[in-house]
Amino acid sequence: MIRIEGLTILFESFKIMNFNIQIEEGGFHFLLGPTGSGKTLILESIMGLRKPKTGRIWIGDREVQGLPPERRGISYVPQDLALFPHLKVKENILFGIKARDLDMKIYEEYVAALIEVMKIDHLLERYPAYLSGGEKKRVALLRALAPKPKLLLLDEPLSGLDPSIKIDIQHLLKNLHTSFHPTTLCVTHDFEEAYSLGDGITIFIDGKVEQVGKRDDVFLRPKSIKVAHFLGAKNLYKARILKSDGLLQRLILRVNGLQFSIPASLYQDQMEVGKEVDLFIRPEEVMIIREGKPVKDSLRRNIFEGKILDIADKERYHLVYFQTMEGKIPFEISIPNYAFRNLKLSIGKIVRIALREESLWLMT
């Protein structure tokens, strides 16, 4: 297990105050934040390349903040990969094992398995200058994993790649983690990367942790409007609690004259009538009702009629821009291509939308 408590880093005028994180053994945790938020400073402090002002770092049951980098049991893949240009691929891969003076025989089978998963056996005799960007990423990852580190640190591992290669490396990272279970901390500003690969996510903005949780907890249930904005959330509304229906155990919200119903059980904190809150609805959770089709009971409390203002083809899905008749509330709706074709939508068409009560999320 990796545990960091009270890490404080001062760098010129930039401050990171009281940073805490915990990663279970074999976990794949993402530190997700905008460029310039201090993510790389945290990696450098964990590695021992930058001395924090305060804080304690445990890797397994050993406290390491006083140890030099080479004794921390950490492997690091930087953005520029830092492959040794004068060494062939095979020599790059084995460098960490030799540098730690480890018994090569113990690692032979493990390294062979890594090479097979990475699919780079045909590259072993090449020099880095003759590798593509994606191939260099594979070699750098393999070099980092070869000495079986207690912690693998990745700094923007998918940056600078063409979209098709990026998807390949993303699948590779997933396969590596499934096969070998390295405890991994990855920093990125790429939402798709964090959502696809991470089992735990820390949202880090302006030197401060804003939210920690499992993947779906963070992306589906942001704790604050600041986190929601950073994640690029659409369908954000200022709402007011109109009433609390104790008999049905529901809260009734009002947005521009429209009323929304949500289960009170979703919110442990007391929601007082008249309180202003932020309402968030993910675009893929907005359903367009097909004409002539029955509506499920779970959708009946939040049905609104309106007009389609625009449609955007996003290759793998369509975005539909909808506005309610009453209240003129805009919605962005994400629809998979197969569903879009069945709905036969067009600009200007009048349709009804439905929302599951559980898909409405409140932030205070």
Q: What is the per-residue pLDDT for 246?
A: 65
Sequence letter at residue 273: V
Judge contact between 27 and 50, C-beta under 8 A.
Answer: no
Within the chain, all domains assigned CATH 2.40.50.100 are found at 236-363
For domain 236-363, which CATH number applies: 2.40.50.140, 2.60.120.560, 3.40.50.2300, 2.40.50.100?
Answer: 2.40.50.100
Q: What is the per-residue pLDDT for 270?
A: 64
Average pLDDT, the chain: 91
Cα separation, 175 vs 196, in Å, equals 12
The pLDDT tens digits for 151-174 are: 999 999 888 888 888 888 899 999
What is the secondary structure of 166-234 as a DSSP string?
HHHHHHHHHHHHHHH---EEEEES-HHHHHHH-SEEEEEETTEEEEEEEHHHHHHS-SSHHHHHHTT--
pTM over 0.85: yes
Cα separation, 260 vs 241, in Å, equals 9
Q: What is the per-residue pLDDT for 269?
A: 61
Find the distance separating the first CA and the last CA of the chain, reported in whole Å: 33
Cα separation, 256 vs 337, in Å, equals 31
- Helix, strand, coil shares of the chain, percent, nearest 5, are 30, 35, 35
Q: What is the per-residue pLDDT for 278?
A: 94
**Percentage of residues in the chain having pLDDT higher than 90:** 68
Low-confidence ranges of the chain (pLDDT < 50): none
Cα separation, 245 vs 74, in Å, equals 54
Q: What is the per-residue pLDDT for 297?
A: 75
The CATH code that applies to domain 2-222 is: 3.40.50.300
Within the chain, all domains assigned CATH 3.40.50.300 are found at 2-222
Q: What is the per-residue pLDDT for 364?
A: 76
Judge contact between 35 and 28, C-beta under 8 A.
Answer: no
Judge contact between 359 and 281, C-beta under 8 A.
Answer: yes
